[in-house]
Amino acid sequence: MQNPGTHAVCLRKVGLYLKDSVYEQLLWAISALKVDNLWKEKTSPLELVYIPTGQRIIFRGADKPKKIKSTKVRSGYIRYIWYEEVDEFTGIEEIRTINQSLMRGGAKYDVFYSFNPPKAVRNWVNTEVTKTFPDRFMHHSDYRDVPAEWLGEQFLIEAEQLKQSNPSAYEHEYLGKVTGTGAEVFNNVSVRAISDEEISTFDRIYRGLDWGFAADPFVYNAMHYDSKRKILYVFYEFYKQGAKYEAIAKAIGKENKNGGMITAESAEPRSNSELRDRGFNVIAAKKGPGSVEHGITWLQNLSQIVIDNSRCPNTAREFLEYELEPDNNGGFREGFPDKNNHSIDAVRYALESVIGKKTAKVGTTRRGIY
C-alpha cells in the first residue's frame, strides 16, 4: 500500500491450501489494519486488489508450475514474494526457478520465507538458514512473542502440558527448535563467522585433504584445535569435483603460505607425490583398523566444532547432515555411513596426530559405534 506500482505473489507448494491459509491470513491482516474498505476480495481467481491503485496480491500453487511462469501484471512489477510453509517445497533449486520467473523488471524485491523448522537437522531448509548473505535477514519467533489473546487460554494450557510431559516435543512444536531425529552423528556443531582477526590468533593449525576427482570431490580443509577447551575451528575449505593439480596447488597455496604440514589420504600415493613435487609438505594418513570409528567418535566428544559456513559451506553441510542409517526395526545400523563425508574425512586426517594419542573404546549403542 505504501509502494504504488508494486504487486505481490503468495505461494504454497500445493495450491489447494492457499484459500484457507495465506489468503485468510491476509484478510485478517487487512482487517487488523482497519483498511477493509480499500481492498476487494476475489476468489476466482484467488486474488486481493487494492482499490485505489489496482495493485494485486496474487496466489499461486507450485504444484502447477506453468501458472507461476505465466504470472504477469499489467503495470508495475511483482516486488513481494511470500513462500508460506517453504519447507514443503522440494529444495532451494525449486525456489530459485520460481524466483527467476517472478523477479523481472523491478528495482527492488522483498522475498519472505515462512515456516516451522522441521525436526531433522539435514532437512534442506534447516541447512539453508545456516547460510549468511548481506541481504538476508532471519527472524525466529514463537507463541510467547504474540499477544495471548491471539491464541486463547486453551492453546496456552496445552502448550504448558506438553512442556511438562514431553520437553523435546514441546521445544519442536511450540518453540520451533530443530531437535533432531536421533540419527544425527554430530550434535556439537556450531555454525558462525570466523573473522580474519580471530584466525590470526590461531596457533595450532592442522591441515588435511581427501582425494576425489569425478564422482567424489577433492577436499582440503584447514582448522585450529584448542586442546584446553576441546574446541575445533574449521575456517578454510577447497571443495571441488574434477579439480586438477594446478587448481589444487593454487587453492592450498592461498591458505598454506608457510609450508605447514598436510595430512592426506594415503590411498593416492601418486597424487600426494604430485603435491610434494609442487613444494607442499604432504604426509600420508596412517588410517588403520577402526580409525574411522575412532576419529568420528573423537570429533563427537569435542565440546564444540565451530565451522564458518561462509568460508566452508560444504564442510558445514556435511557435518550438519551426517546421520546414522536406519535399520528395519526402528533403530540404526551399526557403524558410520561411508558417504557424503569427504570434508569429515579431511578433518579426521588433519587431526590424526591428535586423535591418535588415545586408543578408542569401541562398543555399541542405539547411535552406533562409540
By C-alpha distance, which of 210, 194, 205, 307 is closest to 257?
Answer: 205
Q: Would you say 78 and 112 are in contact if contact means Cβ atoms under 8 Å apart?
A: no
Question: Is it the case that residue 93 has pLDDT exceeding 70?
Answer: yes
* The CATH number fitting domain 189-369, selected from 3.40.50.850, 3.40.50.300, 1.10.260.30, 3.30.420.280: 3.30.420.280
Residue 47 falls in the annotated catalytic set: no
**CATH 3.40.50.300 occupies which residues in the chain?**
6-115
pTM: 0.63
Tens digits of residue pLDDT in 227-261: 999 999 999 999 999 999 999 999 999 999 999 99
> What pLDDT is recorded for position 214?
79
Of 24, 41, 84, 85, which one is the catalytic site residue? 85
Q: Would you say 181 and 320 are in contact if contact means Cβ atoms under 8 Å apart?
A: no
Sheet holding 39-43, edge to edge: 39-43, 46-50, 55-61, 6-12, 77-84, 110-114
> What pLDDT is recorded for position 362?
40
- Fold topology of 6-115: Rossmann fold (3.40.50)
With cut-offs at 50, 70 and 90, classify the pLDDT of residue 84: very high
Tens digits of residue pLDDT in 109-157: 999 999 999 888 778 898 888 888 889 999 999 999 999 998 999 999 9
By C-alpha distance, which of 256, 255, 228, 119 is closest to 179?
Answer: 119
- What phi and psi, each to the nearest 5 degrees, are found at residue 97? -60, -45
Beta-bridge partners for 80: 8, 110
**CATH 3.30.420.280 occupies which residues in the chain?**
189-369
Tens digits of residue pLDDT in 96-118: 999 999 998 898 999 999 999 98
> What pLDDT is recorded for position 357?
58
